[in-house]
Structure 1
Amino acid sequence: MVKKIIVLLAILFFAVGNISAQEKLIEKANNKYKSYAFSPAIDIYTKVIEKGFVSAELLGKLANSYYFNADYKNASVIYKRLVTEFEADVTAEQYFKYAQTLRTLGEYDESNAILEKFYDVASSGDKALFSKDTVASSEKIKANTDKFKISKFKYNSAHNEFAPTFFKEGLLFSSDRDTGNFAKYRHTWNSRDFLDLYKVNVDSVSLDKVAKLDKNVNTRYHESTSAITKDGTTMYFTRNNYKDGKRVKDSDGVVRLKIFRADYVDGMWTNITELPFNSDSYSVAHPALSSDEKTLYFASNMPGTLGQSDIFSVSINDDNTFGTPVNLGNKINTEERETFPYVSNEDILYFSSDGHLGLGGLDIFATKIANNNFAGSIVNVGEPVNSNMDDFTFIFDSENRNGYFASNRKGGIGEDDIYALVENEPLVLDCVQEITGTVRDKISNEILVGAAIKVIDENNEEISSTIMSSKGVYNITLDCNQGNFVRAVVEGYVPSEKYLNKSNGEPQVIDFYLERDKVTAGAGDDLAKLLQLSTIYFDLNKFDIRPDAEIEIQKVIVAMEKFPSLKIKVNSHTDSRGKDSYNLWLSQKRAEATVNYMISKGIDASRLQGEGFGETKLVNKCENGVPCTVKEHQLNRRSEFIIIE
């Protein structure tokens, strides 16, 4: 009996000790995972699982580790096991990553099936961030197939080359060729040592023309993606966070990335300073300049990031200071990785993402920047630039229609290789322009509520339409990649339209003033009522034309100019205050003043008559002796415009 107890205690002790050992291993793996050291995390997680310790969390982190290490085949195996064994615990993000790994392996039907599960469990916020308009995007990608012809970059080595940047007659690029250290973590925020920046004249016939930048730029740590001003005098580049020759780690033990600026003086890069929005606690990397060089785009996981890394912009002030970084929003950024921005001279933003569905891994996408707005759709640049592996660091010369990008696709010399590209035909990108305005009666200036606003293309096909709101304002968008007619239509009025040529998408205000297609009126009708004029009032005991009356009389003048046969009689009136004879005289003066004003504006005197009626035609009860307010008396101090013929 004692022996049995001892054996049982030994077994229990062994089991407890074994569990404790596995927990320590898992803790170690989690620490590696947290610090983006995915390769050692994979080794430890795998050992723990082989010993029979499996959980949804463990499988999820192992799958993610493979995913971030670009080992999509193994990632798909582990994601599949996670979905099979722990379906109730699978998150929307894990479904999405699983779908992406399947696309990388070319299994598009299975990927779309997993995406349906993603949308079943995803919150509305997740769905907004993971752009659903790219689901089942294979057909959309095919539309951009063969827009570019690609070829291998002759300066690739057996190591890593990526992040090309135009510089003078050649390129800068990043490589670890002198150290042999592969940069497997280039897409995470864990930057490994010994990537340096190199320059090359791409027209050179000798590979010996590849040279490292000077030691002011390249350090014993990591230098990578760069952006250079058009005059070649200023460079922004990515570097490890280090101080006094030592790497600086954050609270999680991660060496973050920072962007630095350098000046090109006498053939050397000098005055190297870090940008003020860098931080020791998050990464700022992969700079890109806007076409006017007044905005810097970059990737970061700073506070306010929607996913693992987002694209931000920050204004560059005239004194070389910076504004406040702004997230480009969920039209561009998802809950996954958006990184490596580039802006062409045509104001097209190119970037890499695995949050917008593509062929697999990181794909290169493009969108039109219209007046600092990103309202257009996100377009996958298609094959052959994109593949089922990681494709990134795209740059494009808008003048010569050529460029470069990097990829870790099969068939390369190293793990990452640079490829040259030439445009066969332009990508079709949305350019969205916002048009606002009002629609009014040309004569009365009345807002025509309910007016229809239509966008008509150059083939006279209606593209879209809207109705002017009750507030008297319309709002409509159009495709500014093409010419369009904006047309206002109201029943009883002659339609009016304006042609808009191709543009950069800057918003426009277009106000329409429509003419009636016919005027139904006869002798004795009050033109003021037909034109819906405000009543023309006079001040007490005065007959001069007030400014507000002048505006209304001008509308009558416009009507008389439009209809040359129109003749009118101006009937003027007073209130009951004062003597009857005086009021009759005053009203006659008011009628004459109105007629004389219209004659001064070009209306022939033969078309005008005027008569004063004093207080004989009051519009209310305010007769002699009846107490009335000032406002009630004013209603009677008026002019009417009666049609004679």
Structure 2
Amino acid sequence: MVFLLGGCTSLYQKGQNQFLSGEYQLAINTFAKVLAEDPENKEANFYVAESYRLSNRIEQSAPYYQKTLGEDENYEQYFRLGQSLKSQGKFEEAEEAFKKAKELTLDDTFQAELDREITNLKKVEEIKEYWPYIQIENYKLLNTPGLDYGPILSEDFLYFTSSRQASGLYPSTGQGYTKLFRTRADGIKVDVQNVQELPEFRNEEGLNQADIAISPDGNTIIYARGNSTSGKDLPDVALFASYFRGAAYTQPIWMPVNEDEFYWNSNPAFSPDGNELYFSSNRPGGYGGNDLYKATKLANGDFGNPVNMGPQINTPGNEMYPRPAPDGKFFFSSDGHPGLGKLDLFVAEKTDAGWVVKNLGPNVNSVGDDFALSFTKYPLEGFLSSNREGGQGGDDIYYFEDKTPKAKIINVFLTVTTKEKKEDGSEPILPQTRVALYDSLNKMTGGDFSNQNGTIRFTLTPNQKFALIASKNGYFSKSITYNTTGKTPKPEDLIQDVTNVTLDTTIVLEPLILERSIVLDNIYYDLNMADIRPDAALELDKLVKILKDNPSIRIELSSHTDARASDAYNDALSQRRAESAVAYLVSKGIVATRLIAKGYGKRQLIIQNAQTEEEHQVNRRTEFKVIEITN
């Protein structure tokens, strides 16, 4: 947008010349004098607003853009006003400005850009914390009233950009020219007393040196260099490389990835293996302002053929400060994705459908510029840069730590006592019994022999199901399930960091004696029938478990009748019942060769001359006995 300055004075002309030369802070100072005499001057307000925008201070331009509104309102005025309001976190007012801008243009490109801005504003409330327990602190002892940003850690040194010790002011921003510095650091613990200009490297005067990247082997530095006061220097910001040879760095070299001296190239970052270089550029062919690019190392060591990272990462806005992570995630800053103000920090995660971009959330980002994320212990701690409110100067360095609350621990100790069943019904201790522990996935997680007191101790986890199998020569092996669900305090009720819960259970083993008959209780059949009734099936399931716990035994399963009816009838009925029981066991997965069905009729009465129904029931029984133990 161009305003004709009627009655142009030398003061107007001076301000215009400063603006056109990119000396935005000087232009602001000059036009401020005009506005002191004529606060409503639309032309002077426009140049101040644009100077703030072009020097990355658009949040300060809103009142000046508002003064330019009037009869000749146009799309750009409201669009820039909306951007300024958004950068202040005034999202509702920004949306109104964008909607007004839509009414003032028919251009499809402008309409699409405004739709994107409005859509992004509506998504602000959906932004969630990516790292819920990250805490960020201003590194006050490291920062200065000027600019301090872009920290990265390499070989126990922290490297960063700063305007401290500046020999002159950059006329675009009014801040000092920046240089490259370093100091010793142990993670986020920085030696703030011994910050020095990058040794073995000559910081140049009268221009900005910034955004240092260091190769994983520490032998190559790449940084952004530009904004020179000399008319003979390069016209824009470019990437330069310097190599450590012997005791010093080589003379910096203009890198081929710049491609053109009139392109803006900055924010370099190496991939974790050093074979790729990422950077931001405004070169033609991108998706908007500054886009992110990736260049691969060539055989000669140079980086060539930069590739745009595509529309899932790049937007019509600005994408800057790339930071590839060792697990494949890609961190960067953007004002084009839905955010909280100006530049926000984002992470892109690779999926089958490409990149999925997520805002790192309101506990990391602010209304201001948030950028230059780097890690000292991925992803638990590191640094970032921000010009958020409450800082020491312009851009400040912040450190962050993951403060996830330490999980309270519940130790579940289960004491298992092993005993044996005697014929008289007593259950004395059975020492030296092997007990094995299996988790819910049937994976063995522990096992040992019970001690002389018949006890063994296991450590379990809360709210899980386990199986215990006890075995000893001469005894039936036995398995039981044990569930810790509901047997420990709720996590929200825990007070101490460590809570011990002691539980106990008992496993009783029965002697395994060849040819010794064992009665299966409650195996009933309907009169003159051999079908397995549901109540009998429940009892036979116990035998199934014994057979599965003891896979090396073969058994005879026998059926007996009372003395009533003929021998032939009782023999046939008992045989059918025994075979029916064996068939049931086979249906439950027991191999048929392990089973023999035998009907004894009334030939093995327990009570001779039974008179009562109860006595007949004792004789009418089902038994099993172990007839063989295989290896």
Question: With structure 1 as the length reference, what TM-score do the two structures score?
Answer: 0.54
- What are the Cα deviations for residues 9-44 of structure 1, in whole angstroms up to 9, with x where unaligned? xxxxxxxxx94534x655543443333221122234
Report which stretch shifted further, 44-53 or 154-163.
44-53
Partner residue of 1:415 out of 394, 402, 415: 394
| 8 Å contact kept, 1:185–1:192 | no
- What are the Cα deviations for residues 170-196 of structure 1, in whole angstroms up to 9, with x where unaligned? 32101122227676857xxx9963433
1:237–1:217 CA distance, 2 compared to 1 (3 A): farther
1:311–1:266 CA distance, 2 compared to 1 (3 A): same
- What are the Cα deviations for residues 57-85 of structure 1, in whole angstroms up to 9, with x where unaligned? 76444322223445455411122233x41
Report which stretch shifted further, 413-422 or 216-225.
216-225
Structure 1 residues 369-384: aligned runs within 5 Å: 369=350, 375-384=354-363
Partner residue of 1:218 out of 199, 203, 225: 203
Name the residue aligned to 1:207: 192
- What are the Cα deviations for residues 525-570 of structure 1, in whole angstroms up to 9, with x where unaligned? xxxxxxxxxxxxxxxxxxxxxxxxxxxxxxxxxxxxxxxxxxxxxx
1:260–1:126 CA distance, 2 compared to 1 (3 A): same
| 8 Å contact kept, 2:164–2:178 | no
1:385–1:111 CA distance, 2 compared to 1 (3 A): same
Alignment of 1:275 with 2:255, yes or no, is yes
The CA distance in 2 between the partners of 1:36 and 1:354, in whole Å, is 22
In the alignment, structure 2 segments of 5+ residues that lack a partner are 405-631
1:415–1:290 CA distance, 2 compared to 1 (3 A): same
Of structures 1 and 2, the larger Rg is shown by 2
Alignment of 1:197 with 2:177, yes or no, is no
The CA distance in 1 between the partners of 2:236 and 2:337, in whole Å, is 25
**Amino acid corresponding to residue 166 of structure 2 in structure 1:** T
Name the residue aligned to 2:161: 174
Name the residue aligned to 1:66: 52
**Amino acid corresponding to residue 224 of structure 1 in structure 2:** A
Shift of 1:309: 2.7
| 8 Å contact kept, 2:26–2:172 | no
Name the residue aligned to 1:341: 322
Q: Percent identity?
A: 26
The CA distance in 1 between the partners of 2:293 and 2:190, in whole Å, is 39
Shift of 1:149: 1.3
1:116–1:347 CA distance, 2 compared to 1 (3 A): farther
Name the residue aligned to 2:366: 387
Partner residue of 1:111 out of 72, 94, 97: 94
Alignment of 1:262 with 2:242, yes or no, is yes
The CA distance in 1 between the partners of 2:135 and 2:153, in whole Å, is 19
Structure 1 residues 257-406: aligned runs within 5 Å: 257-266=237-246, 268-270=248-250, 272-278=252-258, 279-369=260-350, 375-397=354-376, 399=378, 401-406=380-385
| 8 Å contact kept, 1:366–1:379 | yes
| 8 Å contact kept, 1:290–1:297 | yes
The CA distance in 1 between the partners of 2:287 and 2:14, in whole Å, is 28
1:324 is paired with a residue whose SS is: strand
**Amino acid corresponding to residue 85 of structure 1 in structure 2:** G
| 8 Å contact kept, 1:56–1:89 | no
Q: CA RMSD in A?
A: 3.5
1:122–1:48 CA distance, 2 compared to 1 (3 A): farther
Name the residue aligned to 2:24: 38
The CA distance in 1 between the partners of 2:186 and 2:168, in whole Å, is 24
Alignment of 1:148 with 2:151, yes or no, is no
Name the residue aligned to 1:102: 85
1:71–1:321 CA distance, 2 compared to 1 (3 A): closer
Shift of 1:98: 2.3
| 8 Å contact kept, 2:241–2:255 | yes
Shift of 1:260: 1.2
Structure 1 residues 472-483: aligned runs within 5 Å: none
Structure 1 residues 152-167: aligned runs within 5 Å: 152-153=138-139, 154-167=141-154
Name the residue aligned to 2:464: none
- What are the Cα deviations for residues 500-548 of structure 1, in whole angstroms up to 9, with x where unaligned? xxxxxxxxxxxxxxxxxxxxxxxxxxxxxxxxxxxxxxxxxxxxxxxxx
The CA distance in 2 between the partners of 1:219 and 1:193, in whole Å, is 10
Name the residue aligned to 1:134: 120
1:138–1:317 CA distance, 2 compared to 1 (3 A): same
1:73–1:261 CA distance, 2 compared to 1 (3 A): closer
The CA distance in 1 between the partners of 2:20 and 2:331, in whole Å, is 29
The CA distance in 1 between the partners of 2:230 and 2:64, in whole Å, is 37
Query: Alignment length, in residue pairs?
Result: 393
The CA distance in 2 between the partners of 1:248 and 1:424, in whole Å, is 51
The CA distance in 2 between the partners of 1:56 and 1:335, in whole Å, is 29
1:164 is paired with a residue whose SS is: strand
Shift of 1:225: 0.3
Report which stretch shifted further, 169-178 or 272-281.
272-281
The CA distance in 1 between the partners of 2:43 and 2:337, in whole Å, is 25
1:139–1:207 CA distance, 2 compared to 1 (3 A): same
Name the residue aligned to 1:445: none
The CA distance in 2 between the partners of 1:184 and 1:171, in whole Å, is 28
The CA distance in 1 between the partners of 2:275 and 2:377, in whole Å, is 19
**Amino acid corresponding to residue 275 of structure 1 in structure 2:** M
| 8 Å contact kept, 1:299–1:312 | yes
